[in-house]
Structure 1
Amino acid sequence: MDWNRVEGNWKQMKGKVKEQWGRLTDDDLDVINGRRDQLEGKIQERYGLAKDQVNKDIDDWYSAQRW
């Protein structure tokens, strides 16, 4: 998986991330700034999910994106 695509297009991706994980705030998205580790941490914090589940959810979301 090439997460660099997400980092490079973060401004465009923020809306898609917010659609998937609506509990993330605009401030959260600004802090995340395309970094996967930050995204994982904020999803865990907002949703109370285990790290393994968050990793799977992010992988599934990334795979579903149409580049």
Structure 2
Amino acid sequence: MNSDIILGRWKQLKGQIWQAWAELSGSDCAWLSGSNDCLSGVLQEYYGREQEAVSSKKQPH
């Protein structure tokens, strides 16, 4: 498994925790921070999956 996928999932989890904290505390800043982490995690996980797909294909010479 690519490290980008793992880090992407970690960022998503961290973002969800921030969003849950924002719901409890009513903090818009915490919610925004959580949303940014979640989005960057999704993008990083997607990038890691695409990178794995490209590297697993045989390159024609």
TM-score, normalising length from structure 1?
0.29
Structure 1 or 2: more helix by fraction: 2
TM-score, normalising length from structure 2?
0.31
